[in-house]
Amino acid sequence: MAIAKRGVPATPSPTFEYAPAPEATDHVRIASKYDLFVGGRFVRAHSRRRFATVNPATEETLSEVAEADEVDVDRAVTAAADAFRSWSALPAARRARYVFRISRLIQERARELAVVETLDGGKPIKESRDVDVPLAAAHFFYYAGWADKLEWAFPNRRPRPLGVAGQVIPWNFPLLMLAWKVAPALAAGNTVVLKPAETTPLTAMLFADVCQQAELPPGVVNIVTGAGETGALVVGHPAVRKVAFTGSTEVGKLIQRQLAGTGKRLTLELGGKAANVVFDDAPLDQAVEGIVNGIYFNQGHVCCAGSRLLVQESIAGPLLEKLKRRLTTLRVGDPLDKNTDVGAINSRQQLDRIEALVRSGVDEGAELYQPECALPERGWWFRPTLFTNVAQSSRIAREEIFGPVLSVLTFRTPDEAVEKANNTPYGLSAGVWTEKGSRILWMAERMRAGVVWANTYNRFDPTSPFGGYKESGFGREGGLHGLAPYVELA
């Protein structure tokens, strides 16, 4: 982008030339059109409307998907409500078997799912291959294990499924967010109507195919594609008993208002502006890797991204020097290349938002640094970016950018670090880097964040609950906590 010039690296990086190492796509078949998945079958949308999903790295249309209207959503919810009677009455061990089978099929089709995830959303293949898809399989595997053990999950209570769950997911981890939502719902005996995000519907369409392959009873999982309006119809349908939403805080607030007084259960997983706090006794090289992973992973399209780096003042100089040098080695470009570190920005709209916020950072007097790197001509790209001299009041320190942009602030004492870390309307995640175990615990107790990583970042496991405080939402996904929103306890 135009304002790049100011940050040329002080020391030229040792550059290694890599030959291109593209992942093959010939094993993948993307249909030119996808219908809605309702009652176990792909059905034409009543709306007769379609929209394109594109590859953000090339701007080429990959497929046309249906845009579900009110009648379509009603059909999907009705199919889910019908299926609920028999699904919830199945012996739990049989439900477990279906969920387990889904997990195995995701593993079997991992390569195909990873390639489609990368084509549709722009994330590097090494991430979809090594993180998104294996974690999605792991979630189904984990919750399959709970399906016939719910009495042990909630001792001395009688857990009962709720009914139809309406689930709306974002575009940053399409298949993984699907897994976080669908796996616990099914394991607890509920049925599902899921709405994927409009820019990344394709792995959900493949997942519909997986459900058919697993011979999941018709109507247990229904998938309706569309944009925000379709999402609002799913959330608002009177027969939906539980709503799970992941996305922006703005839409989360809308949904909370929409559902007030309806008696529907709700969990919200919204935005974040996490502090990644580095103390002067931290191993700096390790911390640099953690900072890079924290903010440049998935182009920074991560709700728990470590987007505010808080560095202890005494080590800010050497740490930033190492970090800037490291940025020059990040490879930005073709998401299908196995050596790519930073892929394409998910949509034109998201790129506009990132550019506007970065401009505001420059206007507010922060100092911008971007490594020199060539960007492909077509597609949507943004260089890994960091800002120093950031004021706490500046927009880039307060607002979620959801892009590869790091704001660096400093602190002197642990108290000041806590004060600054908590100075945000969000509270999803945080990182602490220090050699002292006691300081990790001291910080974790004081930071208002649902997840605190110590000497690591963006580490996920299906057994561990995830979720926020304050404007980052409420409710937990993952682990035993992730089952609770899907059961009624008698």
Residues annotated as catalytic (active site), given as ranges? 269, 303
Cα gap 343→347, rounded to integer Å: 12
**Gap between the terminal Cα atoms of the chain:** 58
Q: Are 116 and 29 in contact (CB under 8 A)?
A: no
Considering the rule CB under 5 A, would residue 118 count as an interface residue with Mg ion? no
Nearer to ligand NAD, 55 or 328 (CB): 55
Q: Which is nearer to ligand NAD, 75 or 195 (CB)?
A: 195
Return the number of other C-beta atoms located less than 10 Å from residue 91's C-beta: 10
Site membership for ligand NAD, residue 197 (CB under 6 A): yes
Task: Pick from 198, 337, 341, 477 the residue near ligand NAD by CB under 6 A.
Answer: 198
**Interface with ligand NAD includes 320 (CB under 6 A)?**
no
203 in contact with Mg ion (CB under 5 A): no
Q: Taking the complex as a whole, how short is the minimal distance between the CB of residue 398 and Mg ion, in angstroms? A: 29
Long-range contact set of residues 328-331: C-beta below 8 Å, sequence gap at least 24: 328/9, 328/12, 328/13, 328/15, 328/371, 328/372, 328/373, 329/13, 329/14, 329/15, 330/292, 330/296, 330/371, 330/373, 330/384, 331/18, 331/373
Least distance (Å) from ligand NAD to the CB of residue 398?
A: 12
**53 belongs to the binding site for Mg ion (CB under 5 A):** yes
Binding mask 258-297 for ligand NAD (x = CB under 6 A): -----------xxx--------------------------
Task: From the list ligand NAD, Mg ion, none, pick the one residue 164 interacts with, judged by a Cβ distance below 5 to 8 Å according to partner type.
Answer: none
Which of 206-214, 243-251, 362-370, 439-447 is the region at the interface with ligand NAD (rule: CB under 6 A)?
243-251
User: What token pair was written down for 189?
Assistant: 């005996």
What are the structure tokens assigned to 306, written together?
């470590």
Residue 402 near ligand NAD by CB under 6 A: yes
Q: In terms of Cα–Cα distance, which of 53, 40, 390, 72 is closest to 202?
A: 53
Applying CB under 6 A, among 253, 353, 359, 448 the residue interacting with ligand NAD is 353
Q: Residue 382's closest CA among 330, 344, 353, 356?
A: 344
Answer yes or no whether residue 122 interacts with ligand NAD by CB under 6 A. Answer: no
Pick from 13, 58, 212, 248 the residue near ligand NAD by CB under 6 A: 248
Q: Classify burial at 294, counting beta carbons within 10 Å of its beta carbon; exposed 0-12, middle 13-18, buried 19 or more.
A: buried
**Footprint on this chain of ligand NAD (rule: CB under 6 A):** 168-172, 195, 197-198, 227-228, 231-232, 235, 246-248, 251, 254-255, 269-271, 303, 353, 400, 402
